[in-house]
Chain A
Amino acid sequence: MKKIFMCLFITVLIGTLATSTIAAEKVTITMWHNNNQVYQDLYEKVFNDFMAANPNIEVKIALQPNIGYDQKILTAFIAGREPDIVDSAHDFALEIEQKYKAWANLDDYGVRDWEEVKLMDPNILESLSYDGKLYGLQFTDQPLALFLRKSWMENVGWDKGYPYIESWDDLIELGKKFTFDDPDKNGKDDTFGYEMFGSLDRNYATVQFEYLMNTAGQELVTKDGKLNINNETGIKALTLMQDAIWKNKIAPKDTASYTHVEMYRDIAAGIVGIGRLGGWNVPGWMETLNNDLVAVPFPPIEKGGKNYATTIYHVMMVSTNSKHPQEALKVIQYLCSAEVQAEFYKNTGMSYRPDLDYKKLAATEQDLFFKDAMLPTKVGRIYLITAPWWTADARATLALFIQSALVDATLDPAKVLADAEKEIVAKFVPKT
Chain B
Amino acid sequence: MFGSNIKKKKIKTQSIYFLFIVPALIIFIIFRAWPIIYSFILSFFDVNIISGNTFIGLKNYISLIHDQTYIKSLLVTIRFTSIILPLTIIWSLFVSIFLDYKFLRYPNFFKSLFFMPFVTSWVVISLIWKWFLNSKFGLVNQIFSILHLPEQNWLTNPKVTLWAVIVITIWKMGGYFILIFLANLQIIDPSLYEAAEVDGANFWNKFRYITLNALKPAFYITLITGTIFYFRTFVIIFAMTGGDPLGTTDLLAYHTYQLAFRSFEFGQASASIVFMFAIIVVVLLLQIAFFERKD
Contacts and interface: CB of A to CB of B under 8 A. Distances in A.
A and B bind: yes
B49 A407 contact: no
Nearest to A256: B156
A254 B262 contact: no
A74 B49 contact: yes
B136 A199 contact: no
A393 B263 contact: yes
B209 to A, nearest CB: 48
A404 B247 CA distance: 10
Contacts of A102: 49-50
A200 B136 contact: no
A95 B156 CA distance: 28
Given A96-B264, A252-B135, A392-B264, A257 B246 contact: no
A320 B50 CA distance: 8
Nearest to B127: A261
Count class of interface residues, chain B: 20 to 34
Given A77-B49, A102-B49, A257 B156 contact: yes
A313 B136 CA distance: 34
Interface in B197-253: 241-247
A176 to B, nearest CB: 16
A256 B264 contact: no
Interface in B37-56: 47-51
Contact of A403 (B49, B155, B244, B261): B244
Q: How large is the interface on A (under 10, 10 to 19, 20 to 34, 35 or more residues)?
A: 20 to 34
Interface in A95-126: 95-96, 99-102
A100 B49 contact: yes
A392 B263 contact: yes
Contacts of B153: 253-254, 407
Contacts, number: 82
A406 B246 CA distance: 10
A244 to B, nearest CB: 14
Given A102-B49, A253-B136, A254-B153, A407 B246 contact: yes
A99 B264 contact: yes
A256 B137 contact: no
Contact of B50 (A100, A200, A201): A100
A259 B242 contact: yes
A407 B157 contact: yes
A102 B51 CA distance: 9
A232 to B, nearest CB: 26
B262 A392 contact: yes
A67 to B, nearest CB: 10
Nearest to A271: B137
Contacts of B135: 252-254
Contact of B245 (A96, A392, A403): A403
B264 A255 contact: no
A70 B261 CA distance: 8
Contacts of B156: 253-257, 406-407
Nearest to B250: A200
B155 A257 contact: yes
Nearest to A191: B136
Contacts of A186: none
Nearest to B257: A71
B61 interface: no
Contact of B242 (A70, A96, A255, A257): A257
B150 to A, nearest CB: 13
A77 B246 CA distance: 32
Contacts of B244: 199-201, 256-257, 403
B247 to A, nearest CB: 7
A202 interface: yes
A256 B156 CA distance: 6
A379 B262 CA distance: 33
Given A200-B247, A257-B241, A257-B244, A321 B263 contact: no
A255 B247 CA distance: 15
A199 B244 CA distance: 7
B247 A400 contact: yes
A407 B136 CA distance: 15
Given A102-B50, A190-B137, A254-B153, A74 B264 contact: yes
A78 interface: yes
B70 interface: no
A424 interface: no
Contacts of B263: 392-393, 396
A190 B142 CA distance: 13
B158 A407 contact: yes
Nearest to B136: A252
B247 A202 contact: no
Interface in B5-21: none
Interface of A: 70-71, 74, 77-78, 95-96, 99-102, 190, 199-202, 252-257, 259, 320-321, 392-393, 396, 400, 403-404, 406-407
Interface of B: 47-51, 134-137, 153, 155-158, 241-247, 261-264, 266
26 contacts: A78-B47, A78-B49, A78-B266, A100-B48, A102-B50, A199-B242, A200-B247, A201-B243, A252-B134, A252-B136, A253-B153, A253-B156, A254-B134, A254-B155, A255-B156, A257-B244, A257-B245, A320-B50, A321-B50, A392-B262, A392-B263, A400-B246, A400-B247, A403-B245, A407-B153, A407-B156
Given A74-B264, A396-B262, 19 more contacts: A78-B49, A100-B48, A100-B50, A101-B50, A102-B49, A200-B244, A200-B247, A252-B136, A253-B136, A254-B134, A254-B136, A254-B155, A256-B156, A257-B242, A259-B242, A392-B264, A406-B156, A407-B153, A407-B157
A-B pairs with the 5 shortest C-beta distances?
A: A201-B242, A77-B49, A257-B155, A253-B135, A256-B156
